[in-house]
A and B are shown apart, each in its own frame.
Chain A
Amino acid sequence: MKLAYWMYAGPAHIGTLRVTSSFKNVHAIMHAPLGDDYFNVMRSMLERERDFTPVTASIVDRHVLARGSQEKVVENIIQKAQQEKPKLIILTPTCTSSILQEDLQNFVNRAAINSHCDVLLADVNHYRVNEFQAADRTLEQIVRYYLEKANQTNELSQTKTIKPSANIIGIFTLGFHHQHDFREIHRLLQDLGIQVNQVLPEGGTIESLKNLTKAWFNIVPYREIGLMTAQYLEKSFNMPYVATTPMGIVNTALWIREIKNIIKDNCEIDIEQYIDKQTRFVSQAAWFSRSIDCQNLTGKKAIVFGDATHAASITKILSQEMGIRVSCAGTYCKHDADWFREQVRGFCDKILITEDHTHVGNIISEIEPSAIFGTQMERHVGKRLDIPCGVISSPIHIQNFTLSYRPFLGYEGTNQIADLVYNSFTLGMEDHLLEIFGGHDVKTVITKNLSTNDNLQWSQAALGELNKIPGFIRNRIKRNTEKYARDNNIKEINIETMYAAKEQYTG
C-alpha cells in the first residue's frame, strides 16, 4: 500500500478510453462499478465536447459480485451495437475486472457473434500499465487487428500514394494542445509538399485504417502514444517513421531533415532554404533569443517537469535556444526514464525521475528557481512559493484547453513557447528597474513557511534593508541570509550579515 494524495498519470482504462473515444465510430464499454465512468465528465468538461462521449459502463454491482456478470456484459454489448451502430466496440477492463478475473474474452467472442460490429477486449492490465502505456497499447491493438484483417481479405492498400504522404499517429482526446499541434504539423507538411494520409486516432474511422499503408511513412509527434503502432507498421509493412518531436527551432529543423531523408528526392522544395527562412524570418523565436530582452534571461534558473516528450523538449529549448540554466529537468514517465536521461543529459544540472509530487515540490523549494515549467501541480507549488510557472505538460486543467490557436510544435509552436517562457519570468526591464529603485512592493515580509525556524534575530536596520528588496526575490534573499547566519553561527542578523551573505551566494 502506498499513501498517495495525487498522481501524474491516470489508471490504465483512461488511456484506453482516450484512444477509443477519439475514433469517430468506436464505442467503449467499461466493465466497472457505478461511478467509474468519470472519463465522460472529463471529456465533456475539459474538452468541452459537444457530442456524447461514446463510453458506457456494464455495471458491476453486488449481483455481479455474487454470480458473475453472466449474460450482462454480452447483452450490454449487443444492445449498444444496435443503439449506436458503431463499427467497433471495445470492452475495457478496469481495476475491478482485473481482480474479478472473469473471462472477458469469452464475453467478447459471444457478443461478436450476435452483433453487427467488431468487438475487441482491450489488452491492458490495471496493475501493470498506466494511462500512457495503455493508450499506446490500445491504439496498436486496434491498428494491428484491422490491418491483419484487411491483409487476410486482400483489402489492404498495396500501393503508395503518388505524392509523398504521411500518417500522423498519436493525436487524441484530452491530449495537451494536441488539436493545435496537429494543425501546425499539417501546415508544415503542406509546406514540404507532403500529404497527410491519415490521422490517428483523433477523428479517424475504423474503415479507413486499411488505407494506413498507403502513406510513405509515419510521424509520431509524442513519445507517450503512437510509438508501438509506428513500430508495428515498420516491422510488418516496412513503413519508416519519424519519432523526433518537432518542438523548438533545433528539433523542428531536425524533424524536417529526417523527413527529407525518408522522402529523398521527392521533395519539391529546397529543405535547407526552407528551414533557414522559417528559422530566421517566419518564426520569431530565433530573433527573440538574440534580442536584448532575452539577454536578461541569461543564466536564470529554471526547473522543468512533465511528461517525457514535453519536459525533454522544453529543457533543450531553454538551455540551447534561450541560454536559461535548467537546474533540474524531470519526468514522471518512469517507464521511459532511460530515453529521458539520454535526451536531457548535458542540458541540465540534475535529472529527476519520480511520480511523487511532494518530491518535485521539495526540489523546487530547495533550488528556488526564477521560473518553473511543469504541470498544473507545479503551478500550484509555484503559487505557494511565489515562483512563476508556465504549464508545459499534462496533467492539466480546463484553462489549458485553450480556444485560441496555441500549438507547441512547429514554427508557430516556437513562438508560443517563447511567449510562455518570457511571460513566466519577470519582465526584463521591469526586473532591472526594480533592482535600481528598490521596488514598488512595500509589503512587509510574511513569516516564512519554508525556511527553517531557529530563533534568528533580525536587527531593525537589516529588516528595513530587507524590505527594500523587490518582493519577488525578497524571500530568497531572506532565506539565503538566514542560511548564511546559521552556517556562520550568527545569532543576530544585521546589514553586514546581509551583505556578507550576498557575497557568498552571488547568483
Chain B
Amino acid sequence: MAKEILKFECETGNYHTFCPISCVAWLYQKIEDSFFLVIGTKTCGYFLQNALGVMIFAEPRYAMAELEEGDISAKLNDFKELKRLCMQIQKDRNPSVIVWIGTCTTEIIKMDLEGIAPLIEEEIGIPIVVARANGLDYAFTQGEDTVLSAIAHRCPELNEKDKNNESNLIFKNFFKSYTKKTNLPLVLFGSIPNIVANQLTSELKHQGIEIAGWLPSSRYDELPALGEGVYVCGVNPFLSRTSMTLMRRRKCQLIGAPFPIGPDGTRAWIEKICTVFNKEPIDLKQREEKIWSTLEDYLELIKNKSVFFMGDNLLEISLARFLIRCGMIVYEIGIPYMDKRFQSSELKLLEETCQKMKVPIPRIVEKPDNYHQIQRIRSLQPDLVITGLAHSNPLEARGITTKWSVEFTFAQIHGFTNARDILELVTRPIRRNSSLKNLGWSKLVKI
C-alpha cells in the first residue's frame, strides 16, 4: 500500500558517507567491557583517528590490527598473527569480549575471520565476535547493524535458561510470584546512550510494559536471553540485518513500528508495542501534545521552511517524517539503503504525516549521486540542507544553510524527552544565520 504512493528512485551510489567501521566509536563506549579490533589497513586507521578526533587520546578500547604486505601476500599466518594480537589485548586490557571488525581488505583477501575466531576464542578464553563492517557492502551506521547482528548470536537462549532452572521453577512459582509477567519478554535492539535507554524503558514501564533487556546491553555479560516467544523491537532505522537475525536465527517475533524519533514517532512506537501486548495506552496522546507544546518556539522558526536530505546515515526517513510534522517541507530524502520491509511502518507514518500536513510526498533517493544532488540543490535553493561534512562548508560558502548529518548520529534524539534536542540541531544554523543575515556577506565564493 505504501509503495504505491511513495516514489523510490535509485541513483549511482556516488555519495559521501562515513565508513561503517566508524561504529566502533560509539559501540566501544556503549559496551563497557568490550574491545574492538579493526582488522584493516592504514586507510582504515587514518579514517578512525581523524573521524574520532580527540577520543583517540583517552586510551580507547579499540585498535587497528594493521595489515602489512606480508599479511596480504599470505607470507604470514593470519591465525598466528591474530592470536598474538589478541593475547596482547587480553594482557593489557582484559576485556570480556573482543569484537573483530572485518574490513574491505579482509574481504578481498578472503581472510577467514569467522573460521579463525572460534579457534582463538578457545585458546585464550575470551569470546570473539566477528562483524564484517566494510565499505564494500555497507554505509556508516550499518556498521552497528553488522555488529549487533553478530552479537545477537551470542545472546543466551531463553529456553535453555529455563531448562537449567527447571528444577527451581516450581520453587519459584511458589515463593516468588514468578508468573507476574503475563507478557512474553520484550527485548529492544539498537545502541543508544544509557540515559536514553533508561528514558525509553521508563516510557514503556509507564504503560505497564516491562523490558527483558537491550541488545546491546552496557556490559557484554548482561546480554538478554533470546529465543522463541521473545518479542523484539528496534529503536533505529538502520538495523535491518539485526532484525533478520533475530527473526530467522533466534526465532524472535519482530514488532514492526515507526522509530521513537520525535514525539510523533515515539508515540507511534509505544502505541504499536501496546497493541502487541494488548494494553490500552495510558495518557499517551496528552504526553505527545505536551511535548509538542514545549517545542513551539522552535516550530515557529522552521514552519514552512524547506529541507533537503543528501543522505548518509539511514536516519533520514524518520527525521524527515518528524520535520514534516513540524511544518517543514521536505524536497528530497537521500538515503544510502532502504529496507522497505523493516521500515514499512515508518514509511507508512511518513505517508500519513504528509497527508495530514497537506504537503507532497518527498522523493526518496536511494544510493544518491552527490553531484546530481548538488545540481538539484542549486535549482531548488532549499532553506536547509542536511548533509555530511564534505559538502557543508562549500554549500555554506554558496549561501546555502546546512546542518551536518553526523551530529544526528551522536546526539540524543530518541524518545519524548529528546525531541527538543533534534530541533535544537535543526534550528541551530537557522538561528545562527538569522543573527548574521543583515551583514550582507552570505555568499562567500567568487563566481
Contacts and interface: CB of A to CB of B under 8 A. Distances in A.
Interface of A: 1-7, 10-11, 13-14, 32-38, 40-42, 44-45, 48-53, 56-57, 59-62, 65, 76, 83, 94-96, 98-100, 126-128, 130, 377, 380, 397
B393 A49 contact: yes
B390 A44 contact: yes
Contact of A57 (B14, B63, B85): B14
Interface stretch (B69-77, B244-252, B293-301, B432-440): B69-77
Given A1-B66, A34-B139, A51 B104 contact: no
Given A7-B42, A11-B43, A51 B394 contact: yes
8 contacts: A1-B39, A3-B88, A11-B43, A38-B19, A38-B50, A38-B51, A41-B51, A51-B445
Contact of A61 (B71, B72, B137): B137
Contacts of B371: 56, 83
Contacts of B20: 35
Contact of B136 (A41, A44, A52, A61): A61
Nearest to A94: B43
Residue among A3, A34, A76, A380 with the highest chain B CB neighbour number at 10 A: A34
B56 A99 contact: no
Contacts of B18: 35, 38
Nearest to A43: B390
Chain B interface, >50% SS class: helix
Contact of B71 (A1, A44, A59, A98): A1
Contacts of A95: 41-43, 104-105
A76 B14 CA distance: 10
Interface string B84-119: 110011000000000000001101110000000000
Contact of A42 (B13, B50, B64, B76): B50
A409 B11 CA distance: 48
Contact of B135 (A14, A34, A41, A128): A34
A62 B136 contact: yes
Interface of B: 13-14, 16-22, 39, 41-43, 45-47, 49-51, 53, 56-57, 60, 63-69, 71-72, 76, 81-82, 84-85, 88-89, 104-105, 107-109, 134-140, 371, 374, 388-394, 397, 444-445
B42 A11 contact: yes
Contacts of B21: 35
B310 to A, nearest CB: 13
A100 B109 CA distance: 9
Contacts of B13: 34, 59, 61
Given A10-B42, A35-B47, A56-B14, A4 B63 contact: yes
Contact of B394 (A4, A14, A44, A128): A44
Nearest to B39: A1
Given A41-B51, A44-B390, 10 more contacts: A3-B66, A11-B46, A34-B139, A35-B19, A38-B19, A40-B390, A49-B394, A60-B136, A65-B136, A96-B108
Nearest to B42: A11
Contacts of A44: 389-394
B275 to A, nearest CB: 38
B396 to A, nearest CB: 8
A51 B371 CA distance: 13
Contact of A50 (B68, B390, B393): B393
Contacts of A94: 43
Nearest to B397: A50
B105 A35 contact: no
Contacts of B65: 1-4
B445 A50 contact: yes
A65 B17 CA distance: 20
A41 B389 contact: yes
Contact of B64 (A3, A37, A65): A3
A99 B109 contact: yes
Nearest to B13: A59
A184 B206 CA distance: 67
Nearest to B60: A5
B104 A60 contact: yes
Contacts of A7: 42, 45-46, 49
A246 B299 CA distance: 57
Nearest to B336: A34
A130 B17 CA distance: 24
A66 to B, nearest CB: 10
Given A4-B45, A7-B49, A50-B444, A34 B19 contact: yes
Contacts of B394: 44, 49-53
Contact of A62 (B17, B49, B60, B137): B137
A33 B134 contact: yes
Contacts of B51: 38, 41
A40 B389 CA distance: 8
B47 A65 contact: no
Contact of B46 (A14, A37, A48): A14
A83 B81 CA distance: 46
A5 B65 CA distance: 9
Contacts of B39: 1
A62 B84 CA distance: 31
A6 B136 contact: no
A36 B108 contact: no
Residue among A1, A7, A10, A14 with the highest chain B CB neighbour number at 10 A: A1
A127 B42 CA distance: 9
Contacts of A96: 43, 104-105, 108
A11 B41 contact: yes
B43 A45 contact: no
A3 B45 CA distance: 11
A52 B64 contact: no
B328 to A, nearest CB: 26
Contacts of A35: 17-22, 47, 135, 139-140
Contacts of B134: 33
Given A33-B136, A61-B137, A65-B136, A1 B85 contact: yes
Contacts of A33: 19, 104, 134-136
Nearest to B395: A52
Contacts of A380: 57
A2 B49 contact: no
B56 A6 contact: yes
B365 to A, nearest CB: 16
A394 to B, nearest CB: 12
A296 to B, nearest CB: 31
B393 A48 contact: yes
A227 to B, nearest CB: 23
Nearest to A380: B57
Contacts of A2: 64-66, 68
Residue among A5, A10, A53, A397 with the highest chain B CB neighbour number at 10 A: A5
Contacts of A57: 14
Nearest to A53: B390
A3 B85 contact: yes
Contacts of B64: 2-5
B43 A36 contact: yes
A11 to B, nearest CB: 4
B395 to A, nearest CB: 9
B390 A99 contact: no
B41 to A, nearest CB: 4
A145 B171 CA distance: 85
B43 A1 contact: no
Residue among B39, B64, B140 with the highest chain A CB neighbour number at 10 A: B64
Contacts of B66: 1-4
B17 A126 contact: no
Contacts of B63: 3-5
Contacts of B139: 34-35
